[in-house]
A and B are shown apart, each in its own frame.
Chain A
Amino acid sequence: MSLLQLKNIKKSFGSNQVLDGVSFDVTKGDVIVIIGPSGTGKSTLLRCVNMLNPPDSGNVIVDGTDLTQKGVNLSKERQKIGMVFQHFALFTHLRAIENVAIGIKKVRKMNEKEAHEKAMYELERVGLADHKDKYPAELSGGQKQRVGIARALAMDPLLMLFDEPTSALDPELIGEVLTVMKNLAEEGMTMLCVTHEMGFAKSVSNEIIFMEEGNIVEMGSPKKMFENPDHDRTQSFLHKISELYGGE
């Protein structure tokens, strides 16, 4: 059974139609990379999945629950969906460990000691145990983003959303974040990533979705998308982006 089903998602902001009937399924363990020119609705699509921007129409079915239906407890459902933000969005008043622990403490009502242990475990997972007592302002961009990943992981999500997780980072800091993401993929985490990192897409993902103007142009395995896409547009976009961000 699909872990996530998107059915005919439509979303507009004012007169601007951002998503024009997007549908696809995500199976448990999938690592899907969404690419496309800016302004095509990739981020909006991710934000539809956890209902930060609810779609105007269509269905978002996560683990059997349709989040677009009235009466759904969104706070409960969102715990199944981790989100990593482009600009990290760490809680600036909390130390790294508290950023990771606050969800399990305040939402899951886990006691202080257990929450601390769990948060430590997640920080170790992203290689930041030594930085647990630092505030976000004291961390580098790459470290912030890893804390962001740990914060999402602490809720034991079924699915992780990555919204351009490396595009706000200095080039030399991108690698550490991609490594964490790669490890997660290898552990079997289901991931939906909006990114321009073609190296990551090629070596880690099992499906690439190419979007343009609110629609999916083409989707398929990295091998097919890079070597033998059905559309010329896919080929030219991938070619261009690989030149910019490195395909190997």
Chain B
Amino acid sequence: MLDSIVFVFENMPLLLKGALVAVEITVLSILLGMVVGLLVAILRLYGPKPIQKFMKLYEWVLRGLPILVILFIIYFGLPSVGLNIPAFISAVLGLGLRSSAYQAQIYRGAIQSIGVEQVEAGLSIGMNRTKTMLYVIVPQAIRLSLPGFTNEFTIVLKDSPLAYALGIAELLKQGRNIIVTSFKPFTIYLTCAIIYFLLFHFFYYLFRKIAEKYEVPGYIMSKKS
């Protein structure tokens, strides 16, 4: 037992290095997913009809593919048409674009659930469309999106080990490297699991705190679930 604990601590720097890579992949993917997702949501709501249709198709396709297939197409497939994308960027692209399809749905749902009367009220006091969007719709949409966004963040975090398949030295891969020389799979994988769980818990807690800070009566954002 003591042996195992010492062994885990000896290998902790490597594992933490991997955990940092996992967090990097997650945060960058979520950010990419946020930018693209917002754009997709807005275009699907307010864009010209053909663009709306195209955005619907975009969401539909990305939601319909296994993430590993998306990653393999980007990393192993695209080089044959002359597009060589480094492994790390491929992972962020794959996870980020897939997330953008889900985030687009979260933002679209939030915007749609805000009544048209809110827009009319903004217009009636002399705001133009942009100001109404900025000061009336967006602040409410962010609040309404937060629970869904938190969930999506944790999903991307838990999917980040798939970057392993592209040879990226994230947490699981680091663990695997240690196992290859030490033959202690149970101890190491259990340690990986604990680190993932702690990361999950940390981000979940962080977003709940944010939700509580910006909670407004009438919106339920931080109810413990």
Binding site for B on A (CB under 8 A): 50, 52, 74-76, 78-79, 81-83, 85, 87, 89-93, 102-103, 106-107, 135-138, 151-152, 154-155
Is the pair B125, A92 in contact by a Cβ cutoff of 8 Å?
no
Residues facing A in B114-145 (CB within 8 A) are 115, 117-118, 120-128, 131, 135-136, 139-140, 143
Is the pair B127, A91 in contact by a Cβ cutoff of 8 Å?
no
For B131, give its contact among A85, A107, A151 (CB under 8 Å): A107
Is the pair A79, B125 in contact by a Cβ cutoff of 8 Å?
yes
Is the pair B121, A106 in contact by a Cβ cutoff of 8 Å?
no
Most buried by A among B123, B125, B217: B125
B46 at the interface (CB under 8 A from A): no
Residues of B within 8 A of A (CB-CB), count: 22
Is the pair B125, A152 in contact by a Cβ cutoff of 8 Å?
yes
User: Given the known A-B contacts A91-B136, A107-B131, are A138 and B217 also in contact in the complex, defined by CB atoms under 8 Å?
Assistant: yes
- Cα distance A93–B121 when bound, in Å? 13
- Pull 27 A–B residue pairs with CB atoms less than 8 Å apart, ordered by A: A50-B124, A52-B120, A75-B123, A76-B126, A78-B125, A78-B126, A81-B124, A83-B121, A85-B120, A87-B117, A89-B120, A91-B121, A91-B122, A92-B118, A92-B219, A93-B219, A102-B125, A103-B125, A107-B126, A107-B127, A107-B131, A137-B216, A137-B218, A138-B217, A151-B121, A152-B125, A154-B125
- Cα distance A53–B161 when bound, in Å? 53
Is the pair A136, B118 in contact by a Cβ cutoff of 8 Å?
no
- Cα distance A89–B116 when bound, in Å? 9
Is the pair B120, A137 in contact by a Cβ cutoff of 8 Å?
no
User: Given the known A-B contacts A89-B117, A92-B140, A106-B131, are A151 and B125 also in contact in the complex, defined by CB atoms under 8 Å?
Assistant: yes
Interface string of B198-225 (1 = CB under 8 A from A): 0000000000000000001111000000
- Cα distance A87–B139 when bound, in Å? 21
Is the pair A85, B126 in contact by a Cβ cutoff of 8 Å?
no
Is the pair B125, A107 in contact by a Cβ cutoff of 8 Å?
yes
Q: Which A residues are CB-close (under 8 A) to B219?
A: 92-93
Is the pair B118, A135 in contact by a Cβ cutoff of 8 Å?
no
Q: Which B residues are CB-close (under 8 A) to A89?
A: 115, 117-118, 120-121
Is the pair B217, A75 in contact by a Cβ cutoff of 8 Å?
no
Extra inter-chain contacts (7) besides given A107-B127, A135-B217, CB under 8 Å: A75-B126, A76-B126, A87-B117, A92-B118, A92-B219, A106-B131, A137-B218
- Cα distance A117–B103 when bound, in Å? 40
Q: Which B residues are CB-close (under 8 A) to A87?
A: 117
Chain B residue nearest to A78 (CB atoms) is B126
Chain A residue nearest to B138 (CB atoms) is A93
Q: Which B residues are CB-close (under 8 A) to A135?
A: 216-218
- Cα distance A94–B201 when bound, in Å? 31
Q: Which A residues are CB-close (under 8 A) to B143?
A: 93
Q: Which A residues are CB-close (under 8 A) to B216?
A: 92-93, 135, 137
Chain B residue nearest to A80 (CB atoms) is B126
Q: Which B residues are CB-close (under 8 A) to A81?
A: 124
- Cα distance A169–B219 when bound, in Å? 22
10 smallest beta-carbon distances between A and B, as pairs: A137-B218, A79-B126, A103-B125, A89-B121, A89-B117, A83-B124, A137-B217, A135-B217, A75-B128, A107-B126
